[in-house]
Structure 1
C-alpha cells in the first residue's frame, strides 16, 4: 500500500533504504538550498550522496548537517558520469535522483519509496511543480523512440504502475525519479555520451525495451526552479545549444536510426520556434538567435561522432549505508495569518522548524494577487491574496472568508506534504 490523505504518519518501512543522489556543477547556492529540503524528509532510512564540483563541495561546509552527507568530487560537466558515480556509491535498496535546483516536498521520499512495495515496480517518478510552486511543470507522460512525449491521464492522487508498450516508454523526470539499485546498476546506469539532456529519457527507453514497470506517484512532488547554469540563464533563455544538439544526435542514432533525418528536422523546427519566442519577448537579439541555432547544428554534427560503448553493470557499493538523521520528525504544523503579521509568523515558523517540525506558513493579503509557494530553507511559505488564485484552474477572482480560505489551502497541500496511504493501481500508457 502507498501512503493516504488523513491517515496517521506511517512507520518507517523496514529494509526500504533509499540513497538520494544530487549532482551539482556550477550552482553551489542552489545545491545548498536543495539539501536543506532533503534534510527534512519524512522517510527513514535514507542517505544523501552529493556528486559536486569544487565550488559545490566548498559550499557544503557551511551547512550544519554537512557531516551527514556522503560527498564525491567531480568537476567534469557530464551529468551521466556524475550520476553513475552516485549510483556506484549508493548503498540503499532504492536510488533516487533530484536536481540541485529543485527542492522536495517533506513526504517526497516517503511516497516514492512506497511504490516499491510492489515487487514488479522497477522505477518510480513523481510530479514536478514549477517556479511559482503551485503550477505543475510536468506530470505523467510517455515517450516514443523519437523523443516525443504525450500525457498519460491519471485520475486523482493514486499512484499507478505502468507497463511500457513497444512504441512508448514511461517518461520519468530526471529531477524526480527513483530506481531499484539492482535494476539501474544492471542496466549500466546512464550513457556518458549524454553530457546534458536526454540522459534519463535514454534510460527510460532502455527500460521500456525490457518491459520494466514504472510507477507514477502524483504525491511524490518536487519544486523545480530552473536555476541559472553555464547552458541557460535564470529566465530559461539558453546560452548555448551545443550539448542539446549533441544529445539529440546520440539519442536519435540509438533509438530511431531509420527516422533520424525527419526527427532531427522536427527538433530543429522546435528549437527555432523557441528561439523566436525568446526573440519576440526581448530575451535575445537576432545575432543571438543565429548563434544559438548554429551551436545546435554544430552540436548535432559532433554528437554523431560519439561512438556507443557497451554499458556494463555498475559494481556493488564499496561502502556501508550511511543513514542521514533528518532535521524534522513526521509531525507538521500549518501557520496562517494576514500579510501584516508575516514577520511574526516567520519567526514562529523558524522556531518550530529548529525544534524539528515541518512547517507551512500561509500569508494572505487583502487582494486578488496570485499565490506563490517557496522553500525558505527552514519552512514552506505561501503568499497571495485572500481573493486570488492558488491553483491556476480557479477563477480569476473569488470571494472567500479568511477562515474558509485558510482551510481550503491547508487541504490542497496536505496530501503531498504528509505521509498517508493510497493503493497502487496498474495500467498501461495511453
Structure 2
C-alpha cells in the first residue's frame, strides 16, 4: 500500500506512460541536454572547424546540420508524447510482433557500442591527464563501466537529478572557455580572420553534424514520452538537439579553429582550466553514458518482452564494459557510422506509420501484436538502408526520407490490393 508499482519503478518499458507519471519542460529538457552534451560531438565539430571560415560558412554548416537533426527528433518527440510510447514500442505497429525485434537489436547494440566507447575513452583520457600508467586503464574501465549505469538503474529520476546538477556546470565552463578562446584569438576580429587549414565539402560537413547524434536522437523518445504536453516534448527536443547539440559542435569547431585542438579537455588545459576540464569530462560523459545504457535497457525489454529494465541495465553495462576492455575503442567509430546509417530509416518508417497509416492516432498497443511480421515495414527498411548507404548526399537524412516515402507508398499499394488485410 502506498508503494510504487513495479511498472513505475521500471519506467513503463512495455506500456504507455500514464498521465500521472508525466513530467514538465525542465525535467525533460535537462535530461535531453545531458544526453546531447557529449565529447564525441565536439570532436566531430573539430573536424569541420578547420575547414571553413568562421563566418558565415562554419556557422551556416552547424546551423543547417542541427536544424535537420532537430526537425527529425522533434517529429519523433511529438509522436512519443501523443502516444506515451518510445521508439521500440512504436516499432511494433510498423514491423510486427516478431519483426520489431530487428529494430530492438539495431538500437540496442548501437547504444552498447557507444557505452563501450565512452567507458574506454574516459579511462584512456584520465590515465593521460593524471599521468597514470597504462596498467590503470582496465581497472578504470571497470570502475567507470559500473559507475555510469548507476543513475540509469534508478531510472528517469536518476537521469534527471544528475542532469540538473551537471548541465548548468558544463554550460558555465563552456561559456568561460569560449570567452578565453576569443580573447586568445585577438577578439572577434581575430577569430574572423583565421583562415581554414583543410578542405571539406558542405555536404560532407553537414553529414558529420547530423551524424553526430541522429542514432541517439532516434531514441530520444525514451524521455519525451514522459512529457506532459506536446509543447513540452517538442520544445525540449528542439532545445537539446538544436541548441545543445549545436553548442557541442560549435565548441569543438571553435577549439580547432583557435588552438588547432578539438578535444575540449586539452583546450581547457591550454587555458589553465585543467581541473575544470577533468570534472567536465567526467560529467559530460556520465550524462551521456547513463542515457545510452538506459536506451539499451529499453530496447532489451522490448526484445525479450520483459519489464525487468533494471536487470537489463546491469547486463548491458556489463557487456559494454567487456567490449571496452577488449579494445572496441580502436575500431568502434567506423562501425558506429555504419549503424548511424542503419538506425534513421527506423524513425522514418515510424513517422510515416503514425502520420499516414494511423493518421495521427495509434490504436491500443495490443493491436500492434496481431501480426508477426509486417512485410511492408521490413521491405521499406531494407530498401531505405541500401539507398542511404549507396546514394550521394547526407546518408542519415536520405535514409529517413526514403523510408518515409517507401513505407507510405507500400501501404497505399497494399491497401488497394488487399483492403481487408490486417497484416501488410
Determine if the TM-score, normalized by the shorter chain, exceeds 0.5.
no
TM-score (norm 2): 0.26
Q: Relative contact order (alpha carbons < 8 A, sep ≥ 6): 1 or 2 greater? A: 2
Structure 1 or 2: more helix by fraction: 2
Structure 1 or 2: more strand by fraction: 1
